[in-house]
Amino acid sequence: MKTVAASGPWLILGAGSLGRLLACRLANHVELALLARQASRAPLLLTDPAGAQSAHSIARLRLDQAPSTPAMLHITTKSHAVEPALRELAPHIAPATPLVLWQNGFQIQQPLTRRWPGPVLCATTSEGAYADGRDGVVHAGHGHTFIGHLDGEHPGLAAQIAGVLARAGLASAACDDIHRRLWHKLAVNAAINPLVARHRIANGRLREPAFRPRVEAVIAEVARIMDAERIAPPESGWTTMVWRVIESTAGNRASMLQDVLAGRPTEREAILAPLLDAATRHRLDVPALTDLYRHTPE
Ligand SMILES: NC(=O)c1ccc[n+]([C@@H]2O[C@H](COP(=O)([O-])OP(=O)(O)OC[C@H]3O[C@@H](n4cnc5c(N)ncnc54)[C@H](OP(=O)(O)O)[C@@H]3O)[C@@H](O)[C@H]2O)c1
């Protein structure tokens, strides 16, 4: 059956960095509501990558104020917050509402795809955004977004959403290999985020002799796990893929580092636990990843 989005507003659950970015970009293209812990009528202020600012009147509603028949629900909380937030929202919206999961890692994608009564799409994005005060968001850098279903279902819906995102200025494409793309992103995140968070350093310092061998050790373990899981490697190979990201984000402070510095929960479970679980399943010894897991706050 070909699935396309029903009419109705697009809901975005989680008014943090990514949720605000999506809301500001989509505001002139679809009817939408941003679901937050507290309602607010204050406009959202978007700073684009060139530094230009624009104000957007976007209703921020509490979860119990959500319109009951949305076209779809984009979830933009951190991975560990998805299940509790969805439990809170579910009684207020139609049970088969299509979901789009924007989380890094590979923690909630599989269970929700199997359990949720409606279509569940996953998105992986290299857009970069951070929240700026109560009502602001900085779009730090343009990236690319891929959207698809873990089993390649609902391609029409994925294409429709990608088309709207692209028209809204967020380069996007539907894909039939989101499972592989999520694992590739997870591999990059596993090689960079826990190390920079532990040592409180910008990504580029991983090139220094003190850190380079540790990055290489993680890449080697990740490559063995991916091979055992039959996740096809990137065309450039795992090592080149990871070092390219380190080069292109050399000055950045990874989100996990920002979470550690702010005393917030990290996405350790979403990023490292799936690798350790897979290593256990395949009886692989992964000392570098195990050490990273032990030294990364939850
Ligand atoms: N930011 C980026 O550039 C980017 C890029 C690629 C992927 N991602 C991924 O996107 C996801 C979101 O990242 P983010 O940076 O946007 O995180 P974030 O800034 O922490 O935003 C998450 C938002 O969700 C809210 N939230 C959590 N539970 C909620 C609930 N029950 N009800 C209402 N609101 C709730 C949080 O509110 P509280 O703060 O009050 O808990 C917060 O405002 C992560 O998985 C991340 O890895 C982000």
What angle do the packed helices 17-26 and 155-167 form, to 10 degrees? 80
Q: What is the pLDDT of residue 7?
A: 84
Report how far residue 275's alpha carbon sits from residue 278's, in angstroms, rounded to the nearest whole number.
Answer: 5
pLDDT-based confidence at residue 273 (cuts at 50, 70, 90):
very high
Least confident of 3-12, 176-185, 234-243, 250-259: 3-12
Does the CB atom of residue 88 touch ligand 1 within 6 A? yes
Q: What is the pLDDT of residue 1?
A: 46
Does the CB atom of residue 83 touch ligand 1 within 6 A? no
* Residue 20 alpha carbon, nearest atom of ligand 1: 16
Which ranges in the chain are annotated with CATH 1.10.1040.10?
Answer: 180-295
Does the CB atom of residue 128 touch ligand 1 within 6 A? yes
The yes-or-no verdict on residue 220 having pLDDT over 90 is yes
Homologous superfamily of domain range 180-295: N-(1-d-carboxylethyl)-l-norvaline Dehydrogenase; domain 2 (1.10.1040.10)
The yes-or-no verdict on residue 109 having pLDDT over 90 is yes
Q: How close is the Cα of 95 to the center of ligand 1, in Å?
A: 23
> How large is the average pLDDT for residues 188-202?
97
Closest of 254, 224, 250, 252 to residue 238, by C-alpha: 224
How many Cβ atoms are within 10 Å of 130's Cβ, its own excluded? 18
- The pLDDT > 70 percentage for the chain reads 98
The yes-or-no verdict on residue 82 having pLDDT over 50 is yes
Closest of 146, 162, 128, 135 to residue 48, by C-alpha: 128
Tens-place pLDDT, residues 244-269: 999 999 999 999 999 999 999 999 99
Which ranges in the chain are annotated with CATH 3.40.50.720?
Answer: 10-175
**CA triplet 17, 177, 282: central angle to 5 degrees?**
95
Q: What is the pLDDT of residue 165?
A: 98
Report how far residue 298's alpha carbon sits from residue 45's, in angstroms, rounded to the nearest whole number.
Answer: 31
Q: Judging by beta carbons within 10 Å of its beta carbon (0-12, 13-18, 19+), is residue 109 exposed, middle or buried?
A: buried
Residue located nearest, by CA, to atom 30 of ligand 1: 85
> How large is the average pLDDT for residues 59-84?
97
Q: How close is the Cα of 283 to the center of ligand 1, in Å?
A: 34
The yes-or-no verdict on residue 93 having pLDDT over 80 is yes
Please report which helix (H) or strand (E) contains residue 74, including its range. strand 72-75
Tens-place pLDDT, residues 22-51: 999 999 999 999 999 999 999 999 999 999
- The answer to whether the CB of 284 falls within 8 A of the CB of 276 is no
> How large is the average pLDDT for residues 82-96?
97
**Any idea which residues carry the catalytic annotation?**
185
DSSP 99-138: EEE--SSSSSHHHHHHH-SS-EEEEEE--EEEEETTTEEE
Report how far residue 220's alpha carbon sits from residue 235's, in angstroms, rounded to the nearest whole number.
Answer: 16
> How large is the average pLDDT for residues 136-154?
97
Does CATH place domain 10-175 in 3.40.630.30?
no
* Residue 14 alpha carbon, nearest atom of ligand 1: 24
Q: What is the pLDDT of residue 2?
A: 52
Q: How close is the Cα of 229 to the center of ligand 1, in Å?
A: 29
Partnered with residue 56 across adjacent β-strands are 44
The yes-or-no verdict on residue 6 having pLDDT over 80 is no
